[in-house]
Structure 1
Amino acid sequence: MRTITVKNAIHIKSTKENVWNFTQNFDNRKTWDKSILECQVLQKKPFKLIWIKTIGGIKAKLKYKICDKANKTTLKLIDVKSFIIKSGGGSWKYETENNQTKWTQVNSLVFKNRFWFLVLGSILRKKLEVNTKKSMKIAKTIIEKNNYDI
């Protein structure tokens, strides 16, 4: 396979509804996810479709497959504009645990070919892992500090 996948979980002292509302509101996204340079909601129904531009120069659309409010999302990276990345996807879960929210992310990238995977796979996997953890920590800090609620 030419796929890299990272998984990370973090506990946030807030309800899963608050964590969902903050992390799924794309007006907030650039404040906590530093890998996103630009984003725009293209449509909300029948499925959520978001255009993004990342620090790596990737432009793509996030097409939500599951959007179960305050519980789970799954999405696919489509219409990808990149020299090395073909597609990707992710799944985020929000679970109540000990009066906190356990927020889990699983994120994947699929390389266009074996060459790019062999040359950059381990580097980009590490970068994706670091960026995922860092972004989740920033979101946690903002949510807990502001007791974010919509």
Structure 2
Amino acid sequence: MFRRSLGHYSATYGERFEAALAAHPDDPVAAVSGVLRRRARPDRRPRPARGMPHRPVGGAAPTLTDESSAVVGTLLARQRERVGAALAAGGVPAERVAELAVFVVAVNQSLAVMSRAGASVEDLRSIARTAGEAVERAVVVGGS
């Protein structure tokens, strides 16, 4: 069931992720900021019934099976590749692409969990804005 959920998540949000990155092919900062702003929207999916435990996707079990861990790793690697490609296409120096891509994916995943847990829109937007500014500083400093 967990892996089916991951497949659904990947199919549903993967296209949105791609579209947000593709919206600014020549501006890596705008592309990344677009991804994070899009994720900084409240999660409108139905909540578990009051009193029912809620765990983030990766916390569905105390530990992931090896197979589930591999699926999660593949999905995260795919996100890193997408972000990395957008950064590289926008002219980010190769030596900065990997570290910025993993940072953006980490923030994106954090926003997903926080949104699902009911974080305020203001908090989500603040995180997305701050992360976008950090990427912009890294690109400007790295490109100088």
Q: TM-score normalised to the size of structure 2?
A: 0.33
Q: Which has the higher strand share?
A: 1
Q: TM-score normalised to the size of structure 1?
A: 0.32
Q: Which has the higher helix share?
A: 2
